[in-house]
């Protein structure tokens, strides 16, 4: 069970969006594994994708179709990534889009495909095609929660978030779902995520809104340091709210909407870390006092990716020397180790280049015994800061990934 999971929140429908979920038997019979999202005509779509050079066939095709115009349908399957499948994979993705288009009466390029699951195996096109009518028949404005279940792979819980904000006296909605638990280290957003709003937003501004939100959320999480072949994050504006379009960052309504989008993305991103494969601890790493954000992130990710640090957290062992060693090998030039400080929760670990004279093991142990643990490092060399979220590394992570295909 995900660390601190309180169940799915209320998922407010977004006018102009319907979702349908069904069981196609792609990998496990009887499991929800196929989702269709229907988007009303006239909507605007923004997206960001993985930078992995072995990006999956659906990523290639989604980029191609998105360049031709806004989508009318999104097709999402789990159980098979359709990655590392060459020309056949691309042809299979096209076939699935073509079948959705035929059922819906829209052009093939109006369908965006998304896949997640095992890499290197052919997509079971026949199973997907056979299940498409059921998914289409299940389309409902309230289908968000079912869809959150339908896009899960090794996730133990569904992931959703929803916000409402008032713009010019009109209530608008931002709702989203995501999947991800392993192979999580963003180089964009390591997972699949689908967010929609009924606020009318100009296309270029919607893309900026998404990229800014992703940089502050999905690009600040890591479970295991692996960037997936299938990452995608989509933000759709249906424009159904009775407002004039938002076309500029200077529009006083934009910060309110952007804040709601960022809040939804942050909740989804944190949910992915909380559900990290085998995770028992949710860890926030904050680095301040850097010369720039880049070096703050460099320190934070070096700590987060250390197997020694992560296993110590799994054991609830306040072995803070492992954190110190990670900082020291982060590659920060001219770092004055005598100036920096390290805190675990409210406990000072390091001061003046060594263990704080006031450090008490029992105080650190009390912090390590918690499910949610903050680490704070002050480099004391500038004004930049950065924050990321990660989890521990447990026996179950090894088991889950060792048994993934069996």
- Which residues form the catalytic set? 190
Give me 98's structure tokens.
């073509």
If one counts every other C-beta atom within 10 angstroms of the C-beta of residue 294, the result is: 10
Q: Which residue has the tokens 């301040």?
A: 288
Both tokens of 375, joined, read: 């680490």
Provide the 8-state DSSP code for 225.
Answer: S
Measured from the Cβ of residue 374, the count of other Cβ atoms closer than 10 Å reads 16
Question: Which tokens belong to 310?
Answer: 């992560």
Cα end-to-end distance, the chain, whole Å? 21
88/125 Cα distance (integer angstroms): 11
> Do the Cβ atoms of 180 and 196 come closer than 8 Å?
no
Strands (E), 228-340: 232-237, 282-290
DSSP string for 346-400: TEEEEETTEE-TT--HHHHHHHHTSSEEEEEEE--SSSEEEEEEEE---HHHHHH
Chain-centroid distance, C-alpha 7: 18
């Amino acid at each position: 069970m995900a660390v601190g999971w309180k169940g799915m929140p209320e998922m407010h429908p977004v006018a102009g969006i319907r979702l349908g979920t069904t069981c196609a038997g792609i990998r496990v019979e009887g499991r929800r594994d196929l989702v269709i999202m229907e988007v009303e005509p006239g909507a605007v779509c923004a997206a960001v994708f993985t930078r992995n050079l072995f990006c999956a066939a659906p990523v290639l095709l989604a980029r191609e179709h998105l360049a031709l115009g806004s989508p009318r349908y999104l097709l999402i399957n789990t159980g098979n990534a359709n990655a590392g499948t060459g020309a056949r994979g691309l042809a299979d993705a096209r076939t699935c889009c073509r079948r959705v288009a035929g059922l819906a009466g829209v052009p093939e390029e109006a369908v965006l495909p998304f896949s997640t699951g095992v890499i290197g195996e052919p997509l079971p096109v026949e199973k997907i095609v056979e299940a498409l009518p059921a998914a289409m028949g299940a389309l409902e404005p309230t289908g968000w929660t079912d869809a959150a279940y339908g896009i899960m792979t090794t996730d133990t819980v569904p992931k959703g978030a929803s916000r409402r904000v008032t713009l010019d006296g009109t209530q608008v909605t931002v709702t989203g779902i995501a999947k991800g638990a392993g192979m999580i280290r963003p180089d964009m957003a390591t997972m699949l995520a689908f967010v929609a709003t009924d606020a009318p937003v100009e296309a270029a501004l919607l893309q900026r809104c998404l990229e800014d939100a992703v940089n502050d959320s999905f690009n600040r999480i890591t479970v295991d340091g692996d960037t997936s072949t299938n990452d995608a994050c989509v933000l759709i504006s249906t424009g159904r709210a009775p407002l004039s379009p938002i076309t500029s960052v200077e529009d006083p309504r934009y910060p309110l909407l952007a804040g709601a989008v960022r809040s939804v993305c942050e909740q989804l991103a944190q949910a992915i870390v909380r559900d990290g494969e085998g995770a028992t601890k949710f860890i926030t790493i904050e680095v301040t006092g850097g010369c720039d954000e880049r070096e703050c992130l460099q320190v934070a990710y070096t700590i987060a990716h250390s197997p020694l640090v992560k296993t110590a957290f799994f054991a609830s062992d306040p072995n803070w020397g492992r954190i110190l060693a990670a900082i020291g090998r982060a590659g920060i030039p001219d770092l004055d180790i005598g100036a920096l400080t390290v805190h675990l929760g409210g406990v000072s670990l390091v001061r003046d280049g060594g263990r704080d004279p006031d450090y008490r093991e029992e105080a650190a142990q009390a912090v390590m015994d918690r499910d949610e643990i903050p680490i704070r490092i002050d480099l004391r060399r500038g004004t930049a800061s950065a924050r990321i979220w990660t989890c521990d590394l447990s026996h179950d992570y090894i088991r889950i990934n060792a048994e993934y295909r069996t």
